[in-house]
Every structure is written in C-alpha cells, then in structure tokens.
Amino acid sequence: MTRTDTAAPRLPARETGAPAPGPGPAGAPGTGAGPAAGSGGGGLNPAEPAVIAVRRVGARTVPVALEAGTFLRPRVMRRPGTALRVALAAVRAALCAGDDVRLRIDVGPGAELELVDPNGTVAYNARGGRAAWGASVRLAEGARMSWTEPSFVVSDGADVLREIDADLAEGAELLWREALVLGRTGERGGALLATTRVRLAGRELLAEDLDLRAPGLRGLPGVLGGARVVGQVGLFGRAPGGSADPDRLDLAGPGALWRWTGEHPYRSEAPLTRVWRAWGGHA
Amino acid sequence: MEGGTGALGALLLADARLPVGGHAHSATLEAALEAGMPAERIPDYIRARLATVARTEAAAAVAALRAARGEPVDFGPVQAALAARTPSAPLREASAALGRGLARLARRVAAGHPAVRALDTAGRAVPGLRVLRPVALGALGAAFGMTAEQTARASLYDDVQTVTAAALKLRPGDPLAAVDRLLAAAPRIEEVVREAAATATPHDIPACSAPLIDHWAGAHAHTTRRLFVA
C-alpha cells in the first residue's frame, strides 16, 4: 500500500546574500547544488526511518507497523475515541552534523491518526557539516491525520534541510502544525531550508521552499524581515471555515495555511493554538 | 499579426504603455510601505522579489513558452504548478487580473496562434482561477516569436519597474533615482534570466516563498485606503 514516489523537490540554487554582484563564493560550505535530498547524500550518515503505518478496523484505527528508526521511536498513547494517537520519542540526540532523521507515515483508507511530537527538534551547531529531517506522509482515501511539531530550532552554526512530502488521496485530510525557530535564545540561528510538498488526488496543492539559509536573504523586507520564528498551521484536503485574515493563506485548492512570523516563539503559541482548534485539531 | 515580431515583441511586452492594466499594480510595494517598510529599503525589497516571487514567475513564463510548442498546447500543468507555488489568494487574483489584460491583448493581435487559442487550457486547470500573468506572458512570447531569455527578462523587468514606478507615486522623489534602482538590480536580473531560461518543465519552477510579501498582500486586500489594487 505504500507508494514509492519519493522524488525529491528540486532545490533552488543557494542565494549567497552577498552584496557584491556575480556568483557567490564557491568555497563556502554548502554552496552549490544545495543540500542533497534523500538519505546518504550531502555528507549525511545512513539512517533508518521511523515507520508508522495504521489502518482502520471497524470503527477504530489500529497500528499495522510501528518501527523505531535511528532517531525516533513511535509509541501508542492509550486514549478514548476512534483515532489512534502516536507520540514520537527520541532514540538518541539529534540533529547533529551528519544526522538524517527520517519519518515515514502511512494512514490507510478511512483511518485516523493523531501524531504528536512532545519534544520537538533542535539542530545543533554542525561546524561545517549539515543535517536533514524529512517526513514522508501518505494518506489513503478518506484518511485523516493531525500532526503537531512543537518547535524546530536551528541553532547558530547548524545547516539543516527540513523536508515534508505529503500525498493525500481523494477525501483525505491533513492538519499540521509546526514552528520553525531560527536560533536558541540570544542567537540569530543557522541555515534552514524548509521544503513542503503537498499533493491531493495526484495534483500539487502546495509547493513551497522556505529558504532561510542566507542571513542576507532571509532578513530582506518581504522575506522574514527581522522575524526569527515562522509558526504555521496547515489544513490540506479541506478548506477551513472562517473569514479572510492577513495571516491566513487560502490555497488555490482545498486547503489553507495560517502563518505567524515574529521574534519570540512563545508569542506564536496562543494564535497557533486558536487556529489549530478552529480547524479541528484536538486539545 | 503574421509571423514573429522578434525583438519588437520583447520591447512591447516591457512597455508600461501596453494597455494591459499594469498601472493599477504596485507589486505589493504599497502594502509594504503601509506596513512600515522604510522607503530606503525599496532596493532591498526589489532584491527580495528577485530571489522569490519574481524568480518563480519568470520561470513559469518560460515554462509556458515551452508548453506553447506542444501539440496540442496545454497550459494546464504550468498554471497548476504556479497556483501551488502562490499560496496567497490576493496575489493569485492580482496575477489573474494582469493575465486577463495580457490574454485580451493576445486574442486581439494573434488570435490564430495555437498558443493563444490554447489560453483556455490554463483557465480550466484550477477551478475558479483565470489565466495567470506568467502563463499569458509565455503565450504572447510564443506568438511574438520571443526567446526564453527575452520572455524571462520581460517578466523580471516588468516586476522591478512595477515597484519603481509605484514608488514614485507612493513616495514621490527623483524619477532618475528610479532608473538607478532598476540598473542596480541588473546583475541579479540577468542571473535570474539565465536560471529561468533553463526551466524545462512546470516541475522545474522554483517555489521560493516570501512570507512577509504574502502577509502584506493579505492585509492590503482588506484595506479601503489604497492607491493600487495590489
């Protein structure tokens, strides 16, 4: 039932952010083709993905496979209700230089998965190396999934690729929340490229490369300005109710993104939670 | 119109006097200034656009130009790819408004060209979304016999000049300074022209986002006091 269509999004060439015209310095770490997508490339160490596969039996959703990967271990949380809740526990510290954290999720027809990551992710100073965190999500017809990633912190000196690839069949619905944070307290943060690809019934619903690698580019007016936090809630497969708002992006297909940018991560909590709940997220 | 117009077509598409409605647009500059961006940062704003939205649009225009050589011509994949790379509804609407002006021009001057006859394929690709500006630009580029570089440069030049011209209305100053701003961006424009010209398929269109431009466009769509529609 798994699809193997894991073609990586084409990565943009790195913007150097240098004030001088012309091509960027060829010797800078990571300059050139951008971080390699997929395991094993670009100085990343081979790693096993964590696998979560669930299906519906009667009215309930049950696990088919819960496999620990090199970095993450899925654990079922006992809860009332028909949805299956799974939490991600850390197997070992990540993300350090060379780490390639992979998560593979498969939700069968009509099944309902609530995925929570209580810890979030911190990308540490890679000292010239790089790291990657990628999730591949497949929702079958009528499947529903909600997914919270509390914070993805990119420390000074980190160079990290965050990739999400979601493939939704007809009638599937994905509600997702994340907060990308550039730097720990007092830092400006390292390099982050966050790529998001969402397909619905085989058609591209959202394609986005949030390229926050070069401080000279991400600080420009129109990109992030002075902000160091991008918090977002995405609903894919259904257009949420409610009225237009400058922070709300209504996609061309059924779905929307609600995006908060600012300086302090804690300030994003309340507005993101409000939207998460309004769009059907659990408490 | 019979045959290609070559270099003249490229000049025509870059001419602000072309009656396609571009004068009503500021490339979100009005909203940026309204949100507090200082006028001194307009060159940085141009740079931000060239690295993100303008780059995406130029590549989409080239992808449309290439699609115009297909048999039959189908702009659907380019239109859909661009729609997926434009999460802001007000920005899609602004692009569709400009696309309508270009499509009207195309139907007047080159009604028989296969690319112009196929413009409807873009309008059918995404429910409720009319042909976007880069797609119409690519179709006109094909009808005018333009190269990929000419088409990408027309798209980028128009984007930068939309900002500089709007800046003169929003923060009146020396019109010669506006020319300076354009020329200062020339090396970066040419870099993006080269990159965009290599766009072979809709899948190759970059998807670099600019969260604050999206946010400003959303705020602008709901303000009543505005000079430009977008």
ipTM of the prediction: 0.95
CA dihedral B168, B169, B173, B175 (to 10 degrees): 40
Chain B residues near residue A223 by CB distance under 8 angstroms: 48, 51-52, 210-213
The crossing angle, in degrees rounded to 10, of helices B89-109 and B133-143 is 20
In sequence order, the β-bridge partners of residue A164 are A135, A196
pLDDT at res. A11: 41
Mean pLDDT in chain B?
Answer: 94
Residue in B with minimal Cα distance to A244: B218
Convert the pLDDT of each residue in A154-174 to its tens digit. Answer: 999 999 999 999 999 999 999
pLDDT at res. A16: 37
Chain A residues near residue B51 by CB distance under 8 angstroms: 15, 211, 217, 220, 223
Confirm if A52 and A66 have CB atoms less than 8 A apart: yes
Comparing CA positions, the residue from A179, A189, A174, A188 lying closest to residue A270 is A179
Report the pLDDT averaged over residues A29-46. 53
pLDDT beyond 90 at A257: yes
pLDDT at res. A217: 95
Backbone angles phi, psi at A177, to 5 degrees: -140, 135
Residue in A with minimal Cα distance to B220: A246
Cis peptide before A95 (omega within 30 of 0): yes
Q: Could you give the CA distance from residue A156 to residue A172 in angstroms, rounded to a whole number?
A: 38
H helices present in B37-174, as ranges: 42-51, 53-67, 76-84, 89-109, 114-117, 119-123, 133-143, 148-170
A261/B212 CB distance under 8 A:
yes
HSE, CB side, 13 Å, CA atoms: give it for residue A260: 24
Tokens of residue B196, six digits:
């965009």
pLDDT beyond 50 at A15: no
Confirm if A70 and A44 have CB atoms less than 8 A apart: no
Convert the pLDDT of each residue in A101-111 to its tens digit. Answer: 999 999 999 99
Closest to A246 (Cβ–Cβ): which among B51, B80, B215?
B215
Convert the pLDDT of each residue in A117-137 to its tens digit. Answer: 998 999 999 888 999 999 999
Chain B residues near residue A217 by CB distance under 8 angstroms: 48, 51
E strands along A203-254, which residues?
203-212, 229-236, 248-250
Residue in A with minimal Cα distance to B47: A220
> Identity (one letter) of the amino acid at A61?
T
Chain B residues near residue A252 by CB distance under 8 angstroms: 83-84, 86, 89, 92, 126, 128-129
Q: Could you give the CA distance from residue A226 to residue A231 in angstroms, rounded to a whole number?
A: 15
Judged by average pLDDT, the poorest of A97-101, A250-254, B174-178 is B174-178
From the CB of residue A22, how many other CB atoms can be counted at a distance below 10 Å?
A: 9
Confirm if B143 and B114 have CB atoms less than 8 A apart: no
Size of interface A-B (CB pairs under 8 A): 114
Chain A residues near residue B88 by CB distance under 8 angstroms: 249
Between the alpha carbon of residue A200 and those of residues A255, B120, B220, the distances in Å are 10, 23, 30
Burial B62-79 (b: 16+ CB within 10 A, else e): bbbbbbbeeeebbbbbbb
Indicate the pLDDT class of residue A244, thresholds 50, 70 and 90. confident
In sequence order, the β-bridge partners of residue A76 are A86
User: CATH fold of B7-217, please?
Assistant: Urease accessory protein UreF (1.10.4190)
Judged by average pLDDT, the poorest of A24-38, B131-145, B177-191 is A24-38
Burial environment of residue B102 by CB neighbours within 10 A (0 to 12, 13 to 18, 19 or more): buried
Task: For residue A153, give every residue at least 6 positions away whose Cβ sits within 8 Å of its Cβ, in sequence order, or none.
Answer: A120, A121, A122, A123, A181, A183, A184
Q: Could you give the CA distance from residue B174 to residue B146 in angstroms, rounded to a whole number?
A: 33
Q: Could you give the CA distance from residue B44 to residue B25 in angstroms, rounded to a whole number?
A: 19
Between the alpha carbon of residue A121 and those of residues A39, B18, B93, the distances in Å are 18, 52, 37
pLDDT beyond 90 at B205: yes
B87/A245 CB distance under 8 A:
no
In sequence order, the β-bridge partners of residue B208 are A209
Chain B residues near residue A239 by CB distance under 8 angstroms: none
Convert the pLDDT of each residue in B41-82 to its tens digit. Answer: 999 999 999 999 999 999 999 999 999 999 999 999 999 999
Distance from CA of B5 to the nearest CA of A (A): 32
Mean pLDDT in chain A?
Answer: 87
pLDDT at res. A41: 55
Please report, in angstroms and rounded to a whole number, the separation of the first and last CA atoms in chain B: 32
